[in-house]
A and B are shown apart, each in its own frame.
Chain A
Amino acid sequence: MASTVVAADDAGPRYVGSSERKRNGDAFLTGRAQYVNDISPPGLVHMAVLRSPYAHARIVEIDTSAASADPRCLLAVTGELIADQVDPIPHFIDPSAFGGKHNDVRALAIGKVVYTGQPVAAVVAKTRNDADDLLDQITVRWEPLTPVLEAEAALAPEAPLLYEDEGWEDNIVLQIPFIEGDFEQARREADHVIEEEFRIQRYSSQPIETRGYLAEWDERTQSLTLHAAAQNPHPLRWVLAHALKLAESQVRVISPNVGGGFGLKMHGHPEEALVCDLSRRLNRPVKWIEDRRETLLIGAREHVHRYVVAFSSDGVLLGFKDHFVANVGAISAAPGWAMAYLTGLTFPTGYKVPHTDILSTIVTTNKGPWNASRGYGKEATNLVMERSLDLVAQTLQMDVAEVRRRNLIDKSEFPYRTNTGLNIDSGDYRAMIDKTLAMLDYDALRVEQARLLEQGRYLGIGIAFELTPEAGGIPGTFVGAYDTTTVKMDPSGRVTVLTGVTTPGGGNDTGIAQLVADELGVPMDDISVVQGDTGVCPFGFGNYSGRSMVVGGHSAVLAARDIREKLATVAGTLLNVAPTEARFGRGNIAADGRSVPVADVAYAIYTLPFTPGHNVEPPLESTRTYRPDNIVHVPDAAGRIQPYPTYSNAVHSAVVEVDIETGKVDLQRFGVMHDCGVMINPRFVEGQMHGAVAMGIGAALTEEQSYDAVGRLENDRFKTYMIPRPSDVPRIEVGHQVTPSPYTLLGVKGAGEAGVGGAQAAIINAVNDAILPLGGRLRRTPASPPNVLDAIAKARS
């Protein structure tokens, strides 16, 4: 086909910055989108897992003979039986890399169990029903041990030890200080010093789709394919290769559509390697889908903070100390425990505090292990700092907004180096406070509050600043701070994008398509995005830390620009102009009043390599990696690293009314000002923020995983583990401020991670504001009716 030179077109639409709709949303809305449980290859069989009924016990003997003798049973295994082919699961982040203690984590327990629900045996049958039923025929002789459930108990000198691996002389996984200046001196010299103990409940995240895996071992090619509801396919491939004693080239991980991740689907779960090994043993496809009860075993927070704030009479922070303890439950190979490390690292968020003394003590107990959860520990830091600021305001009878203005980093001070070594890129925090007050009509709201109080009604107003370090990377781990994308244009001019970042349902593929469409001047419909398949995608780290646009989007832009350069060169030849004059838009390349379709140029590059295409190298394909600026992985003199390129910020506001007779909190209004730099797609940024705020509402008001005295989880379903329903969530008002990051290509900052801690803090501050006239103070989460009524009763007694 000869290239046709046609009349010049107008400049094409710019997709970036536009709220494009989700590009394959119809497949989800009409039920055509395929999740792991929708995949059922011929010969499929099902795994069920026998879990420990004890929180802490020795396994004396496991007898699978009765189950094995049942004709329905295809295979029954124990930890000892699979140990010939299954090594310990490599840790996502090994505590020993930070100077902490190491333990081997096995797919099935050997010797002892350390939490209720720990996998101890597995069976495979043709149906899941039969597999579940066969579990009853496995008998285990247990020697129960004393469970250690609370961090205080685990830290006691004579506490029973969970782990018998080398180096475990106590139950402390890791203790990390972050010290800057001289807090004790600041405390002595300060006009005011306040102290508080605050308890954060155990809670997690609950995606609508639970975890699920489908493993297919191919005996002929000696290779394994795992379809997994997983956030990080390439790192998971590495983990499986090591745990299963295979080469990475023998393993392919495919993550189909994922129904929510939030960190829970980061890897290290025992069932991942287990289902693969059983498929290998049977030479059949084996599937395992998690029950909600199993999902609820996984935690993500449980802290006790003891903080001391030193400040001047004019409300200026001088020193901050927080020696906090995190109860991370049993240690799994998933990256949950490290959330508590980042809680410490993120102090004192966006506030200037000269002297800080932070100590993070990470303790293991016989509760279920943590996995990552949106906020990744930073939500707790924001909650504690925002409580502190409110207490300062309360002590000085100063307005809560004013005390924040006096302590937030000024916009002229960026980039700002924090006490823990973070380098905050940019922002205008005081403007965010002002915009929040305007959003609320703050002064009028305070008048209304006073009026209602006279009627015996308790309205509370809470605001909370939130700093969210995003798109980070931890050296020596598969928490990578870069990612890689391949962009290919075929001879028809259509584009395929293969990227190492994955989407757990948030829709970053749409944002990436917008970026590539703009670079190449083609319609978004001409772009397909492929994610989550180690067989075809470039090596990448997947989804976490609000990184998809920062490293996935920007690497796609770099790759697309390579393609664009080739297209411009050949278009220049066809149009007889310099390549630099070529303008891209609406599927055409234009210059000098004329244009040529992109598809024609692509076709020329593939088919006319010795004529118009002679000065570019086919194919139209480029793989590029984006490494953002600002990351410093070489420790400074104080041993500090700078693991995050960007720092989004937000100011949340909540209005509540507290029913002081029952303690019930009515969340009446919620607003959030958000600054994540340049937005590729505001619709998706807002969608992410809505979801995060809903999680923060659950964290503030209702969600809690509680254990009975022997270490069994009490909240094993959604009737008792109460995530917010639509009617629990008011309309969420979102406003944007755009302060571009100077450290990323397009000024984009991370988005998606932020919102949980800020929302939780704003609500807890509002509840405390409401009960302040009664002298009440809530020192724990959640602000459930019993906890709030208790706080009021304590003030009255």
Chain B
Amino acid sequence: MIRKRFSYHAPASAEQAADLLASSARDGETAMIGGGTWVVAEMTSGTRSPSRVIDLGRAGLKRIDQLDGSITIGATTTYRDLIDSRVIDTQLPMLRSLALAVTGGSQIWNRGTLGGSACYANPNSDAPTALVALRATMRLRSAAGTREVSASAFFRDAYAVDLADGELLEELVIAPPQTPTGYYKFKLCEGSWPVVTGAYVAGEDGGRVTLGGVQATPLTVSASGASDAIVDAVDAAVTDPRDDTLASGQYKKSIAGVIARRTIEQADVHPRRR
């Protein structure tokens, strides 16, 4: 149960949300929630006690639009929305694979949001890896206006993103790759968080693999050269592996190259329906 009293706000637009955010809370922390699957659980356990919660659930950010060759995904688009979207299925199948593989079953599919997961920036989650691999642009909003930042710059550290005070994530903009892509997830068992994830985007130069979970932020490695070479390339690139409760950094480093190779091998093998 949630111990501490807090004020709850559900703004009707991103602009309203930004205005709310600009008016400082009386005291204590403001928590922004998309689906609430992280923050509400933390509030329940008492590990986090914000005095103000801003719920973006009614801000009109649950949408997927195709425009000028780019796809715009609203910050509160759920995994279920991604799974059900024809646009995602045909244009960004990597995100569909990712959503289908999210651990936690239908409750998490229906509540959890791609944008929320990005802002939480847990290294052991799916979203950061894929967004970096897809070179997503994060569109941020504050009372002063909007700002854009690349996904690779957005993820600054474990649980730390480039959101200034008063800023919120409004939408993600992705130009769909015209080459095969792949997403591979390694976890310890069905109920475990991802330990190492791989996202691949093919290219004439061999493409690139982005690995999540291994270091604090997603790590992108060029996949040029022979397929076995990627194993060594990844091993050399992993310089700061991160320990967590599920696995040591050393273990993750030792399998990172293998996961990269498998990500490439399984590229464009996306489950169509589940």
Which A residues form the contact surface with B (CB < 8 A)? 128-129, 132-133, 136, 293, 661-664, 701-702, 706, 714-715, 717-720, 722-728, 784-786, 789-790, 793
Cα of A679 to Cα of B188 in the assembled complex, Å: 37
A132-B46 in contact (CB<8A): yes
**Would you give the shortest CB distance from B153 to chain A, in whole angstroms?**
29
Please report which residues of chain B, range 228-257, place their CB below 8 angstroms from some CB of chain A when the two chains form the complex. Answer: 245-248, 251, 254-255
- Chain A's closest residue to B244 (CB) is A720
A714-B245 in contact (CB<8A): yes
Stretch in contact with the other chain, from B1-9, B51-59, B217-225: B1-9
Question: Which listed residue, A132, A723, A784, A790, touches B188 by the CB 8 Å rule?
Answer: A784
Cα of A786 to Cα of B255 in the assembled complex, Å: 10
A129-B255 in contact (CB<8A): no
Cα of A621 to Cα of B4 in the assembled complex, Å: 56
Inside 8 A of B188's CB, which chain A residues have their CB? Answer: 664, 702, 722, 784-785
**Would you give the shortest CB distance from B220 to chain A, in whole angstroms?**
21
A722-B258 in contact (CB<8A): no
10 cross-chain CB contacts under 8 A:
A132-B1, A293-B45, A662-B258, A664-B188, A702-B189, A719-B191, A719-B192, A727-B190, A785-B255, A786-B247
B109 sits at the interface (CB 8 A) = no
B255-A661 in contact (CB<8A): yes
Which B residues form the contact surface with A (CB < 8 A)? 1-4, 45-46, 186, 188-193, 195, 245-248, 251, 254-255, 258-259
Question: Which listed residue, B1, B2, B189, touches A722 by the CB 8 Å rule?
Answer: B189
Cα of A293 to Cα of B189 in the assembled complex, Å: 21
* Known contacts A664-B186, A789-B255, then 8 further A-B pairs from the complex at CB < 8 Å, ordered by chain A residue: A136-B3, A293-B45, A706-B245, A717-B45, A719-B192, A724-B189, A786-B251, A789-B251
Among the interface residues A718, A784, A793, which one has the most CB atoms of the partner chain B within 10 A? Answer: A784
Inside 8 A of A786's CB, which chain B residues have their CB? Answer: 247-248, 251
Inside 8 A of B191's CB, which chain A residues have their CB? Answer: 718-719, 722-725, 728
**Would you give the shortest CB distance from B227 to chain A, in whole angstroms?**
14
Cα of A726 to Cα of B190 in the assembled complex, Å: 8
Inside 8 A of B195's CB, which chain A residues have their CB? Answer: 785
The answer to whether A789 and B254 touch (CB under 8 A), given A719-B193, A722-B192, is yes
Inside 8 A of A715's CB, which chain B residues have their CB? Answer: 245
B1-A129 in contact (CB<8A): yes
Inside 8 A of A133's CB, which chain B residues have their CB? Answer: 3-4
**Would you give the shortest CB distance from B41 to chain A, in whole angstroms?**
9
Inside 8 A of B1's CB, which chain A residues have their CB? Answer: 128-129, 132
Question: Which listed residue, A663, A725, A789, touches B190 by the CB 8 Å rule?
Answer: A725
The answer to whether A725 and B2 touch (CB under 8 A), given A293-B45, A662-B258, is no
A785-B247 in contact (CB<8A): yes
**Would you give the shortest CB distance from A291 to chain B, in whole angstroms?**
8
A661-B258 in contact (CB<8A): yes
- Chain B's closest residue to A790 (CB) is B251
The answer to whether A701 and B245 touch (CB under 8 A), given A129-B1, A129-B3, A293-B45, is no
- Chain A's closest residue to B248 (CB) is A786
Cα of A247 to Cα of B247 in the assembled complex, Å: 52
Inside 8 A of A722's CB, which chain B residues have their CB? Answer: 188-189, 191-192
Cα of A784 to Cα of B245 in the assembled complex, Å: 13
Inside 8 A of B246's CB, which chain A residues have their CB? Answer: 720
Cα of A601 to Cα of B43 in the assembled complex, Å: 64
**Would you give the shortest CB distance from B250 to chain A, in whole angstroms?**
9
**Would you give the shortest CB distance from A505 to chain B, in whole angstroms?**
21
**Would you give the shortest CB distance from B63 to chain A, in whole angstroms?**
30
Cα of A706 to Cα of B243 in the assembled complex, Å: 14
Inside 8 A of A785's CB, which chain B residues have their CB? Answer: 188, 195, 247, 251, 255
A132-B3 in contact (CB<8A): yes
Cα of A715 to Cα of B254 in the assembled complex, Å: 23
**Would you give the shortest CB distance from B40 to chain A, in whole angstroms?**
14
- Chain B's closest residue to A719 (CB) is B193
**Would you give the shortest CB distance from B210 to chain A, in whole angstroms?**
19
B186-A662 in contact (CB<8A): yes
Inside 8 A of A784's CB, which chain B residues have their CB? Answer: 188
Inside 8 A of A132's CB, which chain B residues have their CB? Answer: 1, 3, 46
**Would you give the shortest CB distance from A67 to chain B, in whole angstroms?**
13
Among the interface residues B2, B246, B258, B259, which one has the most CB atoms of the partner chain A within 10 A? Answer: B246
Cα of A786 to Cα of B9 in the assembled complex, Å: 44
Inside 8 A of B259's CB, which chain A residues have their CB? Answer: 662
- Chain B's closest residue to A289 (CB) is B1
Inside 8 A of A727's CB, which chain B residues have their CB? Answer: 190
A728-B190 in contact (CB<8A): yes
**Would you give the shortest CB distance from A724 to chain B, in whole angstroms?**
7
Inside 8 A of B193's CB, which chain A residues have their CB? Answer: 719
Cα of A662 to Cα of B231 in the assembled complex, Å: 13
Cα of A634 to Cα of B192 in the assembled complex, Å: 50
- Chain B's closest residue to A715 (CB) is B245
- Chain B's closest residue to A787 (CB) is B251
**Would you give the shortest CB distance from A706 to chain B, in whole angstroms?**
8
Inside 8 A of B258's CB, which chain A residues have their CB? Answer: 661-662
Cα of A128 to Cα of B191 in the assembled complex, Å: 29
A701-B3 in contact (CB<8A): no
Cα of A786 to Cα of B2 in the assembled complex, Å: 36
**Would you give the shortest CB distance from B44 to chain A, in whole angstroms?**
9
Cα of A789 to Cα of B195 in the assembled complex, Å: 14
**Would you give the shortest CB distance from B83 to chain A, in whole angstroms?**
18
Inside 8 A of B192's CB, which chain A residues have their CB? Answer: 702, 719, 722
Inside 8 A of A293's CB, which chain B residues have their CB? Answer: 45
Cα of A718 to Cα of B190 in the assembled complex, Å: 11
Cα of A663 to Cα of B3 in the assembled complex, Å: 42
B251-A720 in contact (CB<8A): no
- Chain A's closest residue to B5 (CB) is A133
Cα of A162 to Cα of B3 in the assembled complex, Å: 33
Inside 8 A of B3's CB, which chain A residues have their CB? Answer: 129, 132-133, 136
Cα of A786 to Cα of B195 in the assembled complex, Å: 11
Inside 8 A of A790's CB, which chain B residues have their CB? Answer: 251
A701-B248 in contact (CB<8A): no
- Chain A's closest residue to B261 (CB) is A661
Inside 8 A of B45's CB, which chain A residues have their CB? Answer: 293, 717
- Chain A's closest residue to B4 (CB) is A133
Inside 8 A of A664's CB, which chain B residues have their CB? Answer: 186, 188
Cα of A747 to Cα of B199 in the assembled complex, Å: 60
**Would you give the shortest CB distance from B165 to chain A, in whole angstroms?**
27
Cα of A790 to Cα of B255 in the assembled complex, Å: 12
Cα of A192 to Cα of B121 in the assembled complex, Å: 56
Cα of A177 to Cα of B127 in the assembled complex, Å: 55
**Would you give the shortest CB distance from A591 to chain B, in whole angstroms?**
60
**Would you give the shortest CB distance from A690 to chain B, in whole angstroms?**
17
- Chain A's closest residue to B1 (CB) is A129
- Chain A's closest residue to B193 (CB) is A719
Inside 8 A of A702's CB, which chain B residues have their CB? Answer: 188-189, 192
- Chain B's closest residue to A716 (CB) is B45
Inside 8 A of A661's CB, which chain B residues have their CB? Answer: 255, 258
The answer to whether A701 and B247 touch (CB under 8 A), given A129-B1, A789-B254, is no
Cα of A670 to Cα of B63 in the assembled complex, Å: 45
Cα of A725 to Cα of B1 in the assembled complex, Å: 25
Cα of A702 to Cα of B191 in the assembled complex, Å: 10
B189-A728 in contact (CB<8A): yes
Cα of A715 to Cα of B191 in the assembled complex, Å: 13
Inside 8 A of B254's CB, which chain A residues have their CB? Answer: 789, 793
- Chain A's closest residue to B247 (CB) is A786
Cα of A133 to Cα of B259 in the assembled complex, Å: 45
**Would you give the shortest CB distance from B200 to chain A, in whole angstroms?**
17
**Would you give the shortest CB distance from B124 to chain A, in whole angstroms?**
9
**Would you give the shortest CB distance from A240 to chain B, in whole angstroms?**
27
Cα of A725 to Cα of B191 in the assembled complex, Å: 6
B4-A725 in contact (CB<8A): no
Cα of A661 to Cα of B255 in the assembled complex, Å: 7
Cα of A663 to Cα of B196 in the assembled complex, Å: 13
Cα of A793 to Cα of B254 in the assembled complex, Å: 10
Question: Which listed residue, B4, B189, B251, B255, touches A701 by the CB 8 Å rule?
Answer: B189
Cα of A724 to Cα of B195 in the assembled complex, Å: 17
Cα of A133 to Cα of B188 in the assembled complex, Å: 36
**Would you give the shortest CB distance from B37 to chain A, in whole angstroms?**
12
